[in-house]
């Protein structure tokens, strides 16, 4: 539970990515 903040942030980003795809310009090259 130490990384609860990080986990929540990652979950939020993941949900946001699925619901609202980021433009190619904002998508990190490492992620692709």
pLDDT at 24: 62
How confident is the model over 1-32, as pLDDT tens digits? 455 565 566 666 666 555 556 566 666 666 55
What per-residue string of b and e applies to 6-22 under the rule 16 or more CB within 10 Å gives b?
Answer: eeeeeeeeeeeeeeeee
pLDDT at 1: 47
Global pTM reads 0.18
**DSSP state for residue 32 in the 8-state scheme:** -
pLDDT at 6: 55
């Amino acid at each position: 539970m130490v990384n609860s903040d990080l986990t929540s942030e990652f979950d939020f980003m993941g949900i946001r990515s699925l619901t609202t795809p980021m433009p190619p310009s904002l998508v990190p090259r490492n992620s692709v």
